Amino acid sequence: MKTKITELFGIEHPIALSGMSWISTPELVAAVANAGGLGILATGTLRPEETREFIKKTRELTDKPFAVNVTLYFPEAEKNAKILIEEKVPIINYSLGKGDKIAKAVHDYGGKVIATVTNAKHALAAQRDGADALIVTGYEAAAHGGEVGSLVLIPTIADLVEIPIIAAGGFADGRGLAAALVLGADGIAMGTRLMNTKESPVHEIQKKVCTEKGAFDSIRTNRIDGLPGRFMISVGSKRIMRKKLNPISALIKSRKIAKMFGYPWLKMAAGILFSGVKKSVQMARMAIGFEAFEKGTLEGDNKKGVIPIGQNAGLIFDTPTVKEIIEKMVSDAETIKES
């Protein structure tokens, strides 16, 4: 199946793996790339040296095009972005920040840039800043989606920009792929569906739970990691949402973030103190959220941990290989297109 996205990135199918922390590892990224899609390696929780190591490992597992993301909101993001540029990653996907400098540096070595956006304002800004394509994330998506559902968001953005669009949020089968293309997208990105595959590092408990959950079993809240996001309703997510936080607890929790990123804690603590109560609480929730994500994702703990999950969980009933998913989706979408 050929679209502007397949031509732009040199891939076979217009299907991408969302860059999910702790989930979009070199193994899963390579599985998607080798199946003809675009794998996006997650670096949000990696230190710069780990980022370089993960890029090297991905290259050992696939000779196909792949992307690497950088979340500009996170501490040490600029250092991670520098690593991606030094490694001449073929495609860089940035989010939660201004990407003009990244776009210029990547274009200088012949690479491509994808910006992740959730609204029209940011879509137009990303296009001006030099992005070659957009991942447009709707309300249905796991983790940090937008305020508008994909059915309306995709055509709205498609009518505003001239660069190709990858739709994210609510896609899990060939019907969704076909619908996205009709709505004006040139491909789709999936997190929850590709999270539940044999190659995924997600704990087997969560894969099983995902097949049992429906469209109404997730909640969108900013009380998990400080940003509006969608997570599975569980004992763990309810417990975290009830937590009351203040700037002092933010300082205590910030030690965990500083340690994770290898960032000077005193520098981070000073930044929190001078950023105000709202930002302080947001940082505290980020620390709590990161800890909970790791427990939920890798340990399968739904009492102390949480896991991002999209509304499309209601369309997922099995745990196949990445190749099986991509091939079936493309086949089904082509059949729908021809009918």
Q: Are residues 167 and 256 in the same domain?
A: no
Would 232 be classed as within a structural domain? yes
Asked if 163 and 224 sit in the same domain, the reply is no
Q: Which domain holds residue 59?
A: 4-202+317-338
| Structural domain contains residue 308 | no
Number of domains in the chain: 2
- d(C-alpha 216, C-alpha 102), whole Å: 38
Do 244 and 100 lie in one domain? The reply is no
Residue 208 within a domain:
no
Phi/psi at 144 (5° precision): -100, 80
In this prediction, residue 290 carries a pLDDT of: 81
Residues 195 and 152 in one domain: yes
Q: Are residues 234 and 269 in the same domain?
A: yes
pLDDT in tens, the chain (339 residues): 899 999 999 999 999 999 999 999 999 999 999 999 999 999 988 888 999 999 999 999 999 999 999 988 776 788 899 999 999 999 999 998 999 999 999 999 999 999 999 999 999 999 999 999 999 999 999 999 999 999 999 999 999 999 999 999 999 999 999 999 999 999 999 999 999 999 999 999 999 999 999 999 999 999 898 889 999 999 999 999 998 766 566 666 666 666 666 666 666 666 655 666 566 667 677 777 888 998 999 999 999 999 999 999 999 999 999 999 999 999 999 999 888
How far apart are alpha carbons 128 and 321 in whole angstroms? 38
Q: Is residue 311 part of a domain?
A: no
Distance, CA of 339 to CA of 324 (rounded, Å): 23
Query: Does 290 map to a domain?
Result: yes
The verdict on 243 and 277 lying in the same domain is yes
Cβ–Cβ < 8 Å for 35, 330: no
Residues 295 and 325 in one domain: no
Question: What is the per-residue pLDDT for 265?
Answer: 60
Q: What are phi and psi of 56, to 5 degrees?
A: -60, -45
Instruction: With respect to residue 310, please indicate whether it lies within any of the assigned structural domains.
Output: no
Same domain, 46 and 172: yes
Same domain, 225 and 198: no
Claim to verify: residue 78 and residue 157 sit in the same structural domain: yes
pLDDT for 287 equals: 75
What CATH number corresponds to the domain at position 155? 3.20.20.70
- For the question of whether the overall pTM of this predicted structure is more than 0.75, the answer is yes
CA atoms within 13 A on the CB side of 29: 31
Q: Which positions ≥6 away from 119 have C-beta within 8 Å?
A: 146, 147, 148
* Alpha-carbon gap, residue 236 to 292, rounded angstroms: 8
Same domain flag for 329 and 280: no
169 and 255 both lie in a single domain: no
